[in-house]
Amino acid sequence: MTERQNPDLPSYAAPAARRSFRRIKLGLFLSSLAACLFVAIIGTVCTRILMLVMGITGAAMNYGMLSGGGFIGGMSGAFQLASYNFLLFFINVPAAWLALGLSIGRLPYRSIVRRPPFIRWGSIWGAILVGATTSLFGFLEGFISGVGAVAGGAFVGALAGALCGWLFHAIVQPANQLTDVDVDVF
């Protein structure tokens, strides 16, 4: 006798049906490579924008970019560390692969196929990974500098993670894979 499922339960609370998805590993690999590249590009753009704003407002004349240990100094340091993210790709790519694999890589198996959860969890894990690594160097200068480094790193990581979540969803296309009918005979 089969067990009748409760239709009132949300999809994540129902027993998981064993389903095979294609392109999960490809999506994770390409998203983790893109994460390394996106963090470097966003960090470089944010560094240039911060330097431009400080130059326009005249704050660059009275404030050293990395000296002083203030909030802006920590944020500037986080942006500069993020811009050199590609130099440590052999550490960053496996870390991103692991974080994305344990978060958004499991969503299709839970029948979550809409794009917003992929973008949200990619953004959350990007903010955690980049914010944590930049905060390590920011807190060496002082507490206020560390808070600036956390804020700057979390901003860069959240943007890059959202792009990676979008890319993963575009590669895997879980909604199409759930609706495909398998007609293999042999």
Distance from C-alpha of 146 to C-alpha of 137, rounded to nearest angstrom: 7
Q: Which of 10-14, 42-46, 51-55, 158-162 has the lowest mean pLDDT?
A: 10-14
Q: Which of 149, 156, 32, 157 is nearest to 101 (CA)?
A: 32
Check residue 27 and give its pLDDT.
87
Task: Provide CB contacts within 8 A for 56, sequence distance 6+.
Answer: none
Check residue 17 and give its pLDDT.
54
pLDDT per residue over 157-172, tens digit each? 999 999 999 999 999 8
- Cα separation of the two ends of the chain: 30
Q: Which of 4-18, 24-38, 79-93, 148-162 has the lowest mean pLDDT?
A: 4-18
pLDDT per residue over 175-184, tens digit each? 766 665 555 5
Task: Provide CB contacts within 8 A for 172, sequence distance 6+.
Answer: 21, 22, 23, 24, 27, 108
User: pLDDT grade, residue 42 (50/70/90)?
Assistant: very high
% of the chain beyond a pLDDT of 70: 78
pLDDT per residue over 50-102, tens digit each? 989 888 887 766 655 555 678 888 899 999 999 998 888 888 899 989 988 89
Distance from C-alpha of 95 to C-alpha of 25, rounded to nearest angstrom: 14
Q: What is the dihedral of CA 44, 63, 132, 117, to 10 degrees?
A: -60
- What does each C-alpha distance from 70 to 1, 23, 75, 142, 185 come to in angstroms? 67, 45, 9, 8, 67
Q: Which of 181, 156, 32, 10 is nearest to 105 (CA)?
A: 32
Distance from C-alpha of 158 to C-alpha of 1, rounded to nearest angstrom: 48
Q: How far is CA 116 from the centre of its chain?
A: 13
Q: How far is CA 157 from the centre of its chain?
A: 5
